[in-house]
Amino acid sequence: MNIPPPLGFNSHGDRIHVSPPESPGYVLPHLTGNFEGKPTIHVPYVGQTTLPMFEKGGQSLGTVASLHERFPSIFRNSGLKF
């Protein structure tokens, strides 16, 4: 799972998470960060998800990347959509 170098993380850190439906700009699994001078963006995670992505705090990029490596046939069409 590749992450472009100019992506900076904000208060959610490097965790793929969901926002509550009542949140402005509600997005299902996504990474929140700063990218190419834009203050805050939501980068959607598409494809296979895991339950911790839907729990408070989400799931770290390292854990998700490890799942991609360990189970390539399951996660082959999954990842961050820039």
What's the mean pLDDT in 5-31?
A: 81
- Cα pseudo-dihedral 44, 54, 32, 75, rounded to 10: -40
pLDDT at position 4 is: 65
Residue 82 has pLDDT above 90, yes or no: no
- Where does residue 62 fall: left (phi above 0), alpha (psi -120 to 50 degrees), or beta otherwise? alpha
What does the domain layout of the chain look like in residue ranges? 8-77
Q: Residue with structure tokens 């991609």?
A: 68
For 32-76, the pLDDT digits (tens) are 888 777 777 888 999 999 999 998 889 999 999 999 999 999 999
| SS3 (DSSP) at 66 | helix
